[in-house]
Chains A and B, each alone.
Chain A
Amino acid sequence: MAGWLLLCPLLAWSEDEDVLKRYVPRVREVPASEKTLNFGIVYASQWTYYLTAQHSIIKKQGSFENWHRNMFSPHFDKDSFDYNIFKHGVTGNYYYLWFRSRGYDRVEAFWWSFLSSLAFEFTVETATERPSYQDIYQTPVYGTVLGVGMEKLSIFFHGQESWWGHTLGYVLNPFPLIPQWDEKYNFSYTPILSKEQKGLLVSYEF
């Protein structure tokens, strides 16, 4: 059941050339400085998530000694399937979509998802638990399968050329809202200063 749910989005596709041109990620040679920045953003997000969402567990079980010792003792975890399949699959899906939106091809996005997953398992989460072989495999692999499907589904919805289509498209894959680092931002702001009122008019085109 879980697997079929992961697999179904793979079948969606939009054939409209204009839609493909506008919403399919532009693949390019990403410079090393951008790769460092892209990975750094993921890594910072992982720490932010871990320190906030796992705060009570860190307080209860976490220690610097664990953080160091656990790095060298990966194992097969005993989590339930909703964690191991769904939550890790969805997380991997966001890693994959993030790297795709930065201009990586599918294979590169998969490898960087894999590295991101390793970074979390071996250098973040170890304060409270040992790295898990299931997570090391499943996060990037299921994430990529789901991500490929979500990207296609998102493009399909954008292809409907309606407000609800674009909304759904960005809900499924929000990262194209952030332009690639070599693009101009479609962002503008205009200060409004008059005797009666003061303000800022902000617009963002997507």
Chain B
Amino acid sequence: MNSRIISILFLLISFSARADKYVFKADQWQKGIHLFAGGGLNASIYNSDFAKQDQGVGLNFKTEVGYYINSQWALEAASRVKFNKVKEYLVWDTLFTGGLKYRFNHFPFTKSKGIYARAFAGKAPTVFYLRDSPEIYRKTKASRIQYDGPVYGGAIGNMYDGANGKVWYVEYGFTYQQLNRYIGVKNDGEIPVTEFANTGNKFKIYSLYVSIGLLVF
């Protein structure tokens, strides 16, 4: 598994990083490697031992490194960092996903040729900070609990050509996380130490997000 992931990383490197002559436009994607970055809001529903059927709203930060195969298709590696305040817990999770991106030449009810869809899957380390919850902190002796499991999602967005040549986007998406394992973590100086581990409980997160961002290169 690990060697396969490393092989994919090197395979991506071997693609030519140099761009074609024309520039990236919202309705004409440029072949090669491109990086998008953006931020926005997300709303999530949590179901776990620590937060049963709770909701959280927070900020997110999204990056996508994509290999744009042609003007319509791209392979991408993405991350979306979410911060949510759920009751007394700060929840921080990072959705690492790989996926496909497709631009529609024609889309119903609009003349825009910058509309695209993304489908992705991956893994999402999710951390509950317990510092503000003395009872659980006392019981577990851990300062945070880290969950781990698969994430699946999809999104639809629209790209725009800015007046100064910058390409920007607005994207709406959803994700489903099923987190199967968790560990309690406390810091021994700078070193994070596992206090306990459990694989018995399943924990789900349903999340909607909106993100606005820019083409970095």
Contact between chains at A144 and B216 (CB < 8 Å): yes
Choose one: A78, A106, A134; the contact of B192 (CB below 8 Å). Answer: A78
A168: chain B residues at CB < 8 Å are none
Contact between chains at B32 and A7 (CB < 8 Å): no
**Majority secondary structure, B binding face:** strand
* B38: Cβ under 8 A from any A Cβ: yes
Contact between chains at B190 and A57 (CB < 8 Å): yes
Contact between chains at B65 and A80 (CB < 8 Å): no
Report the interface size for chain B: residues with CB under 8 A from the other chain.
Answer: 45
Interface string of B66-107 (1 = CB under 8 A from A): 000000000001010101000000001010100000000000
Residue of A nearest to B65 (CB): A141
Choose one: B39, B77, B216; the contact of A3 (CB below 8 Å). Answer: B39
Contact between chains at A4 and B39 (CB < 8 Å): yes
A187: chain B residues at CB < 8 Å are none
A78: chain B residues at CB < 8 Å are 125, 146, 183, 185, 192, 194
**Majority secondary structure, A binding face:** helix
Contact between chains at B61 and A7 (CB < 8 Å): yes
Q: CA A77 – CA B5 in complex, angstroms?
A: 16
A114: chain B residues at CB < 8 Å are 13
Q: How far is the CB of B144 from chain A (nearest CB, A)?
A: 7
Counting chain A residues whose Cβ lies within 8 A of the other chain, the interface size class is 35 or more
Q: CA A157 – CA B180 in complex, angstroms?
A: 49
Residue of B nearest to A85 (CB): B81
Interface residues of B (CB under 8 A from A): 2-3, 5-6, 9, 13, 17-19, 32-33, 35, 37-39, 59-63, 65, 77, 79, 81, 83, 92, 94, 96, 123, 125, 127, 144, 146, 148, 183, 185, 187, 190-192, 194, 213-214, 216-217
